[in-house]
Chains A and B, each alone.
Chain A
Amino acid sequence: MDSHWRLYFHNWVSVLGLAILVLLALVATLGPALAPFDPQDIGIAYRALPPGMVNWMGTDELGRDVFSRSISGVRVSLLVGVVAAAASTLVGIVVGSLAGYFGGVFDHILMRITEVFQVIPQFFLAVVLVALFSASVFNIIVAIAILTWPVIARLTRSEFLSLKTRQYVDAARLSGASDARVIFREILPNAMGPVIVSGTLLVGRAMLTEAGLSFLGLGDPSRVSLGVMLYQSRPFIQFAWWAALFPGLLIFLAVLSTNLVGDGLNDVINPQMVEER
């Protein structure tokens, strides 16, 4: 396995993705300590200043510092992305494991439920959920997790379907292992590879969904997120383009870096695909 991890660092694109992600994560954790101004501080006298020595990314239509706001935006975006992806991965693993392992009618019921979630237009469902239950960061996370868990569930299920027929699973049963032990000790560790890759890709997807919701005015009004910044600066883009450009660029970087990391992890998990390239 150690040699496999070296594969990750062989690909400079994955390394670049990881570097960007680490940088963004640092910004998100250090957060307010890095910001030169209070992100919510309005100053009528400083409205729509272009990027300069004081306001590195300029100020928006209310005179708020775009750089300081972007820092808290990255924080909210990463929080939403990571927590939503983690929650959806967890739910997906539980549903997928049970369906794949026990099979039969149980599998059918779980998979039909999964399909119901998959056939509903996803973004529409998110809009409805957030609109119904008020736009808070927590509700946005829940809505995104509800949208994305079926992907992980189907993936986990298919891994289980193939792994449960392995002879080492039979051998564990003959050793007296209970169903729980077979699921957690024998099958799940071997199924985790592709699931983690998909989970990582979900982080980017969740950040995009959050940005999309915010852009439609369904963002958490009490938190500064990158999507909220885009939404608020849109009417003024002609004379204060910087207020929209920088948060947009950061969304792009954040999603790009998680996707690159996901691809890199995929190479680690499926090394033979790298060799075929």
Chain B
Amino acid sequence: MTEVLVEVEDLKVYFPVRDGWSTKDDRQVKAVDGISLALRHAEVLAVVGESGCGKTTLGRTVAGLASPTSGRVWFRGKDLATLSSGERKTYRRQVQMVFQDPYDSMNPRKTAFQMIAQPLTINRIVPKTDLVNEVLRLFDNVGLAPGEAYLNRSRHQLSGGERQRLSIARSMSVNPSVIVADEPVSALDISIQGQILSLMRKLQEESSIAYLFISHDLAVVRSLADRVMIVYLGQIVEEGTTDGVFSNPRHPYTMALLAAHPIPDPELSRNRHRIVLTGDVPSPIDPPTGCRFHTRCPIARPVCSQQIPPFKDFRNGHRSACHFADQLQSMARLLNESGPASH
């Protein structure tokens, strides 16, 4: 077993609905509500879910940008809450982040050079005399060539793809062991997405970085991830190896996500068991009782709204939190044969 870099145990991150001194409204947005995970050396772990399910908050917490309400985050066996300020600096370096919006992740008043040089000088990665060379090396590493041409550009002089390459270069500059990638390609054109994904894969193979890869795009996840975690309303509903989850989903929510995703083969597309989601994600302020998915689940039974489903384990660490995880395939088939329901 390879080394566990980041371990998260029963993490909860709540945000108050109202801030300040007012005590009238003590409701909380339960962005992350009891998630545990382990990210190993050189592994790509994907976190998948709809917008508002807490995946970004999870990523920010792992990167140290948000603080847990309860639960623990360990890095290389050390509890983040107990780190000394020196250790915290090391942690900051070790866990970097690539953001969703490459435009917003660049300071409008800084050039590409300043953006990459900042982490290098703050963390004293290279002596001042080598600064330009190191920046050029990092540019080259992410495919910004010739590097000299990019040094003095600011964000509006770069294309979306170039900006995200620069973002990746910035995160790589401090030699991290973990990169939290929060929807790194969803703001990019489809043609650029592939380039950025293959760059990320290349860097991961070269430097054996672990990615916590946050995405809602199943095709992207499938092409990159070793393991997948499906998140719904701040909780994990299913997790397992990418192959296991994609070929044999054990949760109706996963099946719905897969069904929403087009398959290029019409034969396969027609014959698969479709679960179509209706409605919106319920409010994370006041999540549904029992199984949180029961309000939208097409196979929900009375038990679903009363009891929280425990995890059921399958092969290779594949597990699912559904009362009917074992019978899911046949239930879905029945649902399909009974004909198209309301639409």
Contacts and interface: CB of A to CB of B under 8 A. Distances in A.
A173 B92 CA distance: 8
Contacts of A171: 97, 99, 105, 167, 170
Contacts of A167: 99-101, 104-105
A204 to B, nearest CB: 28
Interface in A90-113: 103-105, 108
B123 interface: yes
B20 interface: yes
Contact of B65 (A105, A166, A170, A189): A170
Contact of A108 (B20, B101, B108): B20
Interface in A147-186: 166-168, 170-177, 181, 186
A176 B119 contact: yes
A28 B122 CA distance: 46
Given A108-B20, A168-B105, A189-B109, A177 B96 contact: no
Nearest to B88: A176
Contacts of A105: 21
B63 interface: yes
Contacts of B123: 175-176
Contacts of B89: 176
B93 interface: yes
A190 interface: yes
B104 A176 contact: no
A259 to B, nearest CB: 27
B96 A172 contact: no
A173 B65 contact: yes
Interface in B94-152: 95-97, 99-101, 104-109, 118-119, 122-123
A240 to B, nearest CB: 55
B99 A170 contact: yes
Interface string A184-201: 001001100000000000
Contacts of B11: none
A108 B22 CA distance: 11
A176 B93 CA distance: 7
Given A166-B104, A167-B99, A175-B119, 6 more contacts: A168-B104, A168-B106, A171-B167, A173-B65, A174-B92, A177-B118
B107 A190 contact: yes
21 contacts: A103-B19, A105-B21, A108-B20, A166-B104, A167-B100, A168-B105, A168-B107, A170-B65, A170-B105, A171-B97, A171-B105, A172-B118, A173-B92, A174-B96, A174-B97, A175-B122, A176-B93, A177-B118, A177-B122, A181-B122, A189-B109
B97 to A, nearest CB: 6
B174 interface: yes
